[in-house]
Amino acid sequence: MRELSIRDALNEALDEEMTRDDRVFLMGEEVGHYNGAYKVSRGLLDKFGERRVIDTPISETGFAGVGVGAAVAGLRPVIEFMTWNFSLIAIDQVINSAAKVLYMSNGILECPVVFRGPSGSVHQLAAQHSQSLESLYAHCPGLKVITPSNSYDAKGLLKSAIRDPNPICFMESEAMYGVKGEVPEGEYLIPIGLADVKRAGTDVTLICWGKTVPVCLAAAEELATKGIHAEVVDIRTVRPLDEKTLFDSILKTNKVLIVEEAWPVASVGSWISSRIAVELFDYLDAPPLVQSGRDCPYPYAKNLEVFMRPRVETVIQDVMRLV
């Protein structure tokens, strides 16, 4: 099977959906003539023209609002934030407009808009450009939140997101755009709200998403040399959450570690942990553990940044505590 980078898989998904449906258009900063800040939209302007690949001013509130209005009017906008950190400027449009249109119109108006772009830390981008904000948007009913971890998932989930009638926050890992993975020829879709067992195991369940998936897979490889077989479950969609796949895994292993890059307070990991504790209390051999990023703003210094997020060795340490 051919291998594509996550960047190219996303580009292919956009190309296919824009070809399939002329209501789909892309809007954001530098998406057109510059081919995208991370080259995800490379070549799309040449193919589809300036009416469907639209460069915007540096005004997230403005172009996010245009996207919401266009979606309500019957189009299928894909709104690119150069980074999800910048989405905070447009959060009113995302949470108070897009997420509430269906409910406040009594089900009459849909808002099929995809807000997408890179999320999380990269390399020395410091406190204002390194945040993982999935819990903030997952907190809001009316939004779906997707966090792909590889090329195959990125393409299939983005295509499904563009076809979905609901507003979606599609959060890609900025640090993983160049990571390659197998992507089949031809069209395929991945259902939104379906987790994926990336590695089978019997001794402990590792729940992860986005950038922490390869960390957990590497940790599982190392743990196997110690006779500990970890099952790695990639939730893929933060909201809606596929509790069945998570619970089925934990019923098999009876132990669970949730690994996330975001801050620990009111995080997705803490929410998943609470659901596990309530629903599976009698089946757990140990309390569910959550390994999050450090509870402070991201430092600029390279030697400090490495200690901010989960690493293979810290995942192994927590697994050893559980087993």
How confident is the model at residue 124, as a pLDDT? 86
Return residue ranges of the chain for CATH 3.40.50.970: 3-182
How confident is the model at residue 146, as a pLDDT? 98
Considering 17, 29, 80, 129, which one is annotated as catalytic? 129
Considering 17, 60, 260, 305, which one is annotated as catalytic? 60
How confident is the model at residue 1, as a pLDDT? 86
- Say if residues 263 and 235 touch (Cβ distance below 8 Å): no
How confident is the model at residue 122, as a pLDDT? 87
Residues 6+ apart with CB under 8 A from 92: 61
- Say if residues 43 and 213 touch (Cβ distance below 8 Å): no
CATH 3.40.50.920 fits 196-322, yes or no: yes
Q: Over the range 97-116, which residues count as b (16 or more CB within 10 Å of their CB) and which as e?
A: bbbbbbeeeeeeebbbbbbb
**CA–CA distances in Å: residue 234 to residues 54, 145, 195, 269:** 33, 14, 6, 13
pLDDT digit string, tens, across residues 306-315: 899 999 999 9
Structure tokens at 266: 């009111």
- Say if residues 5 and 180 touch (Cβ distance below 8 Å): yes
Q: How many CB atoms lie within 10 A of CB 52?
A: 18
- Say if residues 4 and 151 touch (Cβ distance below 8 Å): yes
Catalytic residue check, 129: yes
Catalytic residue check, 261: no
- Tell me which of 3.40.50.720, 3.40.640.10, 3.40.50.970, 3.40.50.300 is the CATH number of domain 3-182: 3.40.50.970
pLDDT, tens digit only, all 323 positions of the chain: 899 999 999 999 999 999 999 999 999 999 999 999 999 999 999 999 999 999 999 999 999 999 999 999 999 999 999 999 999 999 999 999 999 999 999 999 999 999 999 999 888 889 999 999 999 999 999 999 999 999 999 999 999 999 999 999 999 999 999 999 999 999 999 999 999 999 999 999 999 999 999 999 999 999 999 999 999 999 999 999 999 999 999 999 999 999 999 999 999 999 999 999 999 999 999 999 999 999 999 999 988 998 999 999 999 999 999 99
How confident is the model at residue 24, as a pLDDT? 98
Return residue ranges of the chain for CATH 3.40.50.920: 196-322
